[in-house]
Amino acid sequence: MTSAAVIREPAVAGSFYPGLPAVLSRDIELMLRDAKPHMPKGNVRALICPHAGYVYSGSTAAMGYKLISSMQFDTVIVVAPSHKEYFHGISVFPGDAYRTPLGDVPVDSSLREELLKHSKDVVLSFEGHKTEHAIEVQLPFLQKVQKHIKFLPLVMGDQRRAHCDALSRALVSTIGSRNVLLIASSDLSHYHPQNEAVQLDRKVVEDVESFHPDHLMDRLERHEVEACGGGPMVVVMKTAQALGANRSHILQYCTSGDISGEKDSVVGYLTAVLTGVH
């Protein structure tokens, strides 16, 4: 990167994940070593991954990243929610790179320009990118399993159906035949007792496993389920389907209670992979 490059500095290093490069690298390597996902048939088009602190959701996220560690993509598109800022539509980072303790992840500027041509709902903006963790926590994993990767960070300030559909259409037109991996960044239910959380999350897991993004959108609109990145999940599922994915595989589901043993108030985590089988 040049001295004039616009870099998004880490916002949650040292809290959501280790801030020291050596410690972060070691922790991810250990999680990847312990992850033993079943390799599904077909071409991998997308992942759904959690975005909590690594101590809670890292082992679940590692299942997806281990799966793609032997593959190579030209670009990764990460679609994430905005936890702290509400804004209209979808923002794409206007700068040059996101920085983590492991280095800089460059933004695919040519893909960004192409996407902007295909949608008025996507705008160049720092909104949703300044302190948002949902994209940032995915990047160290990507840096460990995808060398020299470029990425496109998209944050949904508004997850209504119209914006989900518009973004999916724009992504399909933009991606075309490119060698792109889609990632939806989302946790599931928040702060329910373990049994209630599992019951709520089971509905989301069912819709993901049966590859029914519109049904998931219906449930989200009726507030029958919880997923902070429900919109990104719908977008990535619909986009992957349109690009040829026809199978969905649940790699791991757990709650924070399964990790900590404290089950009075938990958060749900899911990793899934979407593939195309001909």
pLDDT for 201-242, tens place per residue?
999 999 999 999 999 999 999 999 999 999 999 999 999 999
The string of DSSP codes covering the chain is --TT--EE--SSBTTTB-SSHHHHHHHHHHHHHH------SSEEEEEEE--S-HHHHHHHHHHHHHHTTT---SEEEEEEE-SS---SSEEE--SSEEEETTEEEEB-HHHHHHHHHH-SSEEE-STTTSS-HHHHTTHHHHHHHSTT-EEEEEEES---HHHHHHHHHHHHHHHTTS-EEEEEE----EEE-HHHHHHHHHHHHHHHHTT-HHHHHHHHHTTSS--TTHHHHHHHHHHHHHTT--EEEEEEEEEHHHHHS--SSEEEEEEEEEEE--
Tell me what the pLDDT averaged over the chain comes to. 96
Confidence of residue 41 (pLDDT cuts 50, 70, 90): confident
Distance CA(52)–CA(186), nearest Å, equals 9
> Residue 252 corresponds to which tokens in the numbers above?
């791991």
pLDDT for 16-34, tens place per residue?
999 999 999 999 999 999 9
pLDDT for 236-250, tens place per residue?
999 999 999 999 999
Q: Write out the CATH class of domain 14-276.
A: alpha beta
**Domain extent listing, the chain:** 14-276
pLDDT at 8: 98
Is the pLDDT at 277 greater than 90? The verdict is no
